Amino acid sequence: MSILTLERIKLNGSAATKAEAIQQAGELLVQSGAIDEGYIAGMHEREASMSTYLGNGVAIPHGMHESVQYIKQSAVSVLQLPEGVEWEDGEMAYLVIGIAATSDEHIGILSNLAEVVEEEEDVLKLAKTTDASFILDQLNNQQPQPE
């Protein structure tokens, strides 16, 4: 199964706080069977110790190393927030990309996602689209292809 699937993408979401956004991104992973609920607590812990805001309107919440026990399979979720949520002082997140990965696999995932969201213009397209397949295609195109 792919790391990112349509069932792990939520369009036109809203969140009043970054904690709420993290919760929703984690719930997408729970609902798709990728993680157990306990992983979400690790996502909140990670955010408390170090911001996961990348810039250009993108945040990438993920769990602590100790949370890996709650991962059933590596997966990525995307919570689209067209109105955004303040992540840091004056910094709005429009795409919240939840990441659950075993071992060092998440390093590659983060690298691929960073390339996709490098241009603010591209992020805005993803943040405003009404087609989940567009997000899926844009992010999966950056995934390494099996040899």
Residues annotated as catalytic (active site), given as ranges: 62
List all residues 6 or more positions away from 127 whose beta carbon is below 8 Å from its beta carbon. 57, 80, 81, 82, 84, 94, 95
Helix (H, G, I), strand (E, B) or coil at 33: coil
Amino acid at 73: Q
R_g of the chain, CA atoms, integer Å: 14
Query: What is the Cα–Cα distance from 5 to 57, expressed in whole angstroms?
Result: 21
Answer positive or negative: Cα dihedral of 37, 46, 49, 57: negative
* Residue 110 · residue 142 · CB < 8 Å: no
